[in-house]
């Protein structure tokens, strides 16, 4: 496969995604990451070597409205953005299939295993290898431009594409999210993140604030990227 074909395919898929309103687009090489997929049977993902990750920059105005807990406006926004991302993924998937290749959409926010609290494939992992950002102290994917205020969706495909690859970046001296997290879940190192504390806080918000969803948004608000 020549680099021209890879770039041409990449440009075509990116154009479709951007036309649909996507803010961030990147492609990851998924070879060697199969152990991270929680999809069965295996033939569903076999041979899909490329991961297309697409991000939607959330409304800064809505995020700015969050103080120490999620707002109703954030709840509605969260739901609509998930629907939009899933629809965009379907359109991009259809485009790829119409070109004669296979494409597997990974839904924006589906939990496939509630006990393990995981989805089929991690968008943060694909996004990281697609050059869209780094894993921050809040363990979210932090994009240099939009910070953590981005929601993602991914597509796995066998369409040969130019790969972006991981780009360097880290939180540096920033510690804003550590200070504001109501659960005290965020630590100096992402590896020490207290997932159980975060989950219990989201459960509290879901019940006490009558949201019906595990959302928070406090660590998104302070992680706004460079402007």
Tell me the per-residue interface mask from 127 to 166 with ligand SF4, x by CB under 6 A, - otherwise: ---------xxx---x----xx------------------
CA distance 107 to 82: 8
Does residue number 125 form part of the binding site for ligand B12 (CB under 6 A)?
yes
Instruction: State the minimum distance, in angstroms, from the CB of residue 7 to ligand B12.
Output: 25
- 140 neighbors 17 (Cβ within 8 angstroms): no
Query: The tokens 């608000």 sit on which residue?
Result: 221
**N-term to C-term CA, the chain:** 39
- CB closest to ligand B12, residue no: 119
- Using CB under 6 A, pick the residue from 27, 96, 103, 140 that binds ligand B12: 140
- Using CB under 6 A, pick the residue from 123, 137, 162, 221 that binds ligand B12: 123
Name the segment binding ligand B12 (CB under 6 A); options: 13-21, 23-31, 104-112, 155-163.
104-112
Tell me the per-residue interface mask from 149 to 188 with ligand B12, x by CB under 6 A, - otherwise: -xxx------------------------------------
| Residues that contact ligand SF4, how many (by CB under 6 A) | 23
CA distance 121 to 113: 11
Q: At what angle do helices 3-19 and 72-98 cross, to 10 degrees?
A: 140
Structure tokens at 59: 């409304």
Query: Per the omega criterion (within 30 degrees of 0), is the bond before 41 cis?
Result: yes
* Number of residues in the chain: 227
- Using CB under 6 A, pick the residue from 36, 46, 188, 192 that binds ligand B12: 36
Q: Where are the beta strands (DSSP E) in 20-146?
A: 24-29, 50-57, 103-106, 134-135, 141-142
CA distance 133 to 147: 8
Does residue number 128 form part of the binding site for ligand B12 (CB under 6 A)?
yes
Q: Which helix (H) or strand (E) holds 179?
A: helix 176-180
Does residue number 18 form part of the binding site for ligand B12 (CB under 6 A)?
no
User: For binding to ligand SF4 (CB under 6 A), which residues are involved?
Assistant: 136-138, 142, 147-148, 171, 174-177, 181-183, 185-186, 198, 201, 216, 218-219, 222-223
User: For binding to ligand B12 (CB under 6 A), which residues are involved?
Assistant: 33, 36, 78, 108-109, 111, 117-119, 122-125, 128, 135, 138-141, 148, 150-152, 190, 195, 198-199, 202, 214-217, 219-220
């Amino acid at each position: 496969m020549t680099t021209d074909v890879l770039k041409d395919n990449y440009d075509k898929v990116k154009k479709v995604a951007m036309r649909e309103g996507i803010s961030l687009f990147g492609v990851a090489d998924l070879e060697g990451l199969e152990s991270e997929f929680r999809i069965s049977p295996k033939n569903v993902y076999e041979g899909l070597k490329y991961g297309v990750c697409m991000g939607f920059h959330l409304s800064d105005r809505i995020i700015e409205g969050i103080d120490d807990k999620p707002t109703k406006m954030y709840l509605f926004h969260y739901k609509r953005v998930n629907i939009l991302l899933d629809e965009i993924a379907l359109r991009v998937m259809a485009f790829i299939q119409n070109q004669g290749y296979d494409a597997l959409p990974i839904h924006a926010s589906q939990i496939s295993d509630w006990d393990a609290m995981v989805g089929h494939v991690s968008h943060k992992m694909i996004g990281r290898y697609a050059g869209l950002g780094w894993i921050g102290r809040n363990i979210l994917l932090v994009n240099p431009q939009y910070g953590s205020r981005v929601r993602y969706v991914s597509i796995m495909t066998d369409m040969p594409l130019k790969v972006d690859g991981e780009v360097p970046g880290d939180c540096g001296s920033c510690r804003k999210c550590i200070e504001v997290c109501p659960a005290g879940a965020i630590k100096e190192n992402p590896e020490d993140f207290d997932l159980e504390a975060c989950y219990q806080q989201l459960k509290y918000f879901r019940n006490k604030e009558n949201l019906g969803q595990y959302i928070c948004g406090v660590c998104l608000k302070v992680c706004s990227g460079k402007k």
